[in-house]
């Protein structure tokens, strides 16, 4: 399938789709096709980014963001040359692609494109905004954080927040969420910001990070009542009131409990068999392949830094191979990731979540993420203040507390708590999604392939289209 639509000359809106880790443009076929069918090319031009595909996603969010930015700029220039005037921009990111997209819009903002384009929709699907570092405290969580961060080259260190971005001494994800950065300033410019997050069965990016949350109300679905959004087939939850206290139920008899326990054990047997026999072999293969790809990734990054990869990095360094093997690597990473359990702050220590270090202003010599470019507004905090005001009354976590539902605070890092605070200040409309019919909800969320059990994802896409403004 083509990765870009051919709209009529009247189309003035460019929508960019960015795929995730190990991904390729075909992963976004359903999203692109759904947009084309709804708007028939007369109002919307669609670009599915393709220069950061496959193992190129190992090369880091920064390099990926520069590639995608260049692709967007070239598309805008080509459209202008052909007589099509683009005046609006929307950016959609899936999984890691949401982080790449957040980096790219910062570069576009810095380069003055937001003076020419109106930023309209920014949406992420299952994007790990807080990284994929497992909440701490448990020993095996610490082992995973050490091992996982070293299997995906630069992207791995960034996703596990163990990197130091340039000379800032802070992780890249922390810089992406810094209120003084061009990335947050760019994000605040979008008229609509939304995210879709799986509440269960997402083996790649769990709820707390894709929803930008310090709690997980869905850790035990038997203890809460889910409140659905009318008209969306019991797939999307009401973002304003996603859960409520569950009505008291009559305790089951001993026989009923025994039957349920037997069924539960029977359902777990295939997973236990996999963990005992296939996981060790697959893990070794995954680690070997990751080592090879990490070496190749570093070589690509070196070429990029030398300006030999087809991109003039001076424009973006602002002051401040086989599909089957790739799918196997993705499966192994997800299987390893899904064996972990979340950890929480000790009871009575929730104040730790409010002691996240406040980021000092980023000087041009320290961070290279601020700019004195003419695109900078006279009051750079105006967009953030407006976004914060719009978001203040729409925070699901606050509503959960008001409804006397209390959930433990996850044992996140100070940087992660600071990210939550900054991103919530900008404001996202957060849509929890409950996919039941396939245990690979990360792929089902965007209907990554034509598969019957992914049909619930079509409901999610339908809702996204209903909310999408042209």
Domain count of the fold of the chain: 1
* Assigned domain for 6 exists: no
* Assigned domain for 237 exists: yes
Q: The domain containing residue 451 runs over which residues? A: 13-467
* Assigned domain for 273 exists: yes
* Assigned domain for 173 exists: yes
* Assigned domain for 204 exists: yes
* Assigned domain for 388 exists: yes
Encode the chain in three state secondary structure.
CCCECCCCCCCCEEEEEECCCCCCHHHHHHHHHHHHHHHCCCCEEEEECCCCCHHHHHHCHHHHHHHHHHHHHHHHHHHHHCCCCCCEEEEEEECHHHHHHHHHHHHHHHCCHHHCCEEEEEEEECCCCCCCCCCCCCHHHHHHHHHHCCCCHHHHHHHCCCCCCCCCCCCHHHHHCCCCCHHHHHHHHCCEEEEEEECCCCCCCCHHHHCCCCCCCCCCHHHEEECECCCCCCCEECCCCCEEECCCCCCCCHHHHHHHHHHHHHHHHHHHHHHHHHHHHHHHHHHHHHHHHHHHHHHHHHHHHCCCCCCCHHHCCCCCCCHHHHHHHHHHHHHHHHCCCCCECCCCCHHHHHCCCCCCCCCHHHHCCCCCCCCCCCCCCHHHHHHHHHHCCCCHHHHHHHCCCCCCCECCCHHHHHHHHHHHHHCCEEEEECCCCCCCHHHHCCCCCCCHHHHHHHHHHHHHHHHCCC
* Assigned domain for 3 exists: no
* Assigned domain for 5 exists: no
Spatial separation of the C-alpha atoms in residues 428 and 394, rounded to whole Å: 9
The one-digit pLDDT tens for each residue of the chain (470 residues) are 344 445 566 799 999 999 998 789 999 999 999 999 998 767 899 999 999 887 788 889 999 999 999 999 999 999 999 999 999 999 999 999 999 999 999 999 999 999 999 999 999 999 999 998 766 555 555 555 555 555 667 888 899 888 999 888 899 999 999 999 999 999 999 999 999 999 999 988 999 999 999 999 999 999 999 999 999 999 999 999 999 998 765 555 666 555 555 555 555 556 555 455 555 665 555 556 556 656 666 666 566 566 666 666 555 655 443 344 445 555 555 555 555 556 666 665 555 565 555 555 454 333 334 333 334 444 545 555 555 555 554 455 545 544 557 899 998 889 999 999 999 999 999 999 999 999 999 999 999 999 999 999 999 999 999 999 99
């Amino acid at each position: 399938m083509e990765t870009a639509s051919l709209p009529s000359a009247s189309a003035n809106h460019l929508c960019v789709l960015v795929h995730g880790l190990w991904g390729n443009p075909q992963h976004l076929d359903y999203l692109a096709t759904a947009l084309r069918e709804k708007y028939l090319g007369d109002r919307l031009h669609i670009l599915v980014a393709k220069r950061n595909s496959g193992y190129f996603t190992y090369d880091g969010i920064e390099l990926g963001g520069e590639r995608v930015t260049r692709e967007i700029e070239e598309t805008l220039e080509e459209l202008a040359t052909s007589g099509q005037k683009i005046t609006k921009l929307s950016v959609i990111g899936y999984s890691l692609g949401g982080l790449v997209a957040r980096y790219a819009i910062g570069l576009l903002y810095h380069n003055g494109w937001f003076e020419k384009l109106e930023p309209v929709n920014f949406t992420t699907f299952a994007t790990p905004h807080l990284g994929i570092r497992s909440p701490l405290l448990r020993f095996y969580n610490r082992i995973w954080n050490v091992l996982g961060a070293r299997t995906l080259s630069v992207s791995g260190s960034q996703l596990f927040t163990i990197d130091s971005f340039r000379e800032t001494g802070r992780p890249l994800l922390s810089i992406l969420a810094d209120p003084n950065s061009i990335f947050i300033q760019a994000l605040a410019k979008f008229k609509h910001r939304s995210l879709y997050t799986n509440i269960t069965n997402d083996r790649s990016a769990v709820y707390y990070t894709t929803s930008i949350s310090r709690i997980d109300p869905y850790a035990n679905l038997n203890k809460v009542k889910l409140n659905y959004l009318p008209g969306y087939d019991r797939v999307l939850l009401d973002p304003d009131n996603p859960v409520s206290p569950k009505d008291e139920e009559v305790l089951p008899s001993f026989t009923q409990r025994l039957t349920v326990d037997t069924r539960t054990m029977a359902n777990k047997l295939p997973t236990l068999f996999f963990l005992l026999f296939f996981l060790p072999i697959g893990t070794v293969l995954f680690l070997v392949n990751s080592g090879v790809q990490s070496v190749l990734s570093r070589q690509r990054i070196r070429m990029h830094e030398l300006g030999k990869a087809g991109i003039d990095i001076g424009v973006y360094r602002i002051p401040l191979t086989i599909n089957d093997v790739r799918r196997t690597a993705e499966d192994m990473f997800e299987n390893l990731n899904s064996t972990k359990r979340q950890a929480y702050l000790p009871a009575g220590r929730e104040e730790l979540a409010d002691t996240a270090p406040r980021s000092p202003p980023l000087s041009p010599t320290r961070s290279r993420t601020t700019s004195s470019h003419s695109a900078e507004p006279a009051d750079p905090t105006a967009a953030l203040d407006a976004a914060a005001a719009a978001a203040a009354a729409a925070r699901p976590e606050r509503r959960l507390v008001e409804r006397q539902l209390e959930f433990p605070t996850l044992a996140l890092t100070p940087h992660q708590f600071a990210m939550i605070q900054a991103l919530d200040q900008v404001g996202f409309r957060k849509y929890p999604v409950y996919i039941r019919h396939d245990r690979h909800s990360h792929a089902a969320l965007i209907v990554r392939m034509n598969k019957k059990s992914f049909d619930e994802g079509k409901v999610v896409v339908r809702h996204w289209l209903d909310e999408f403004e042209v």
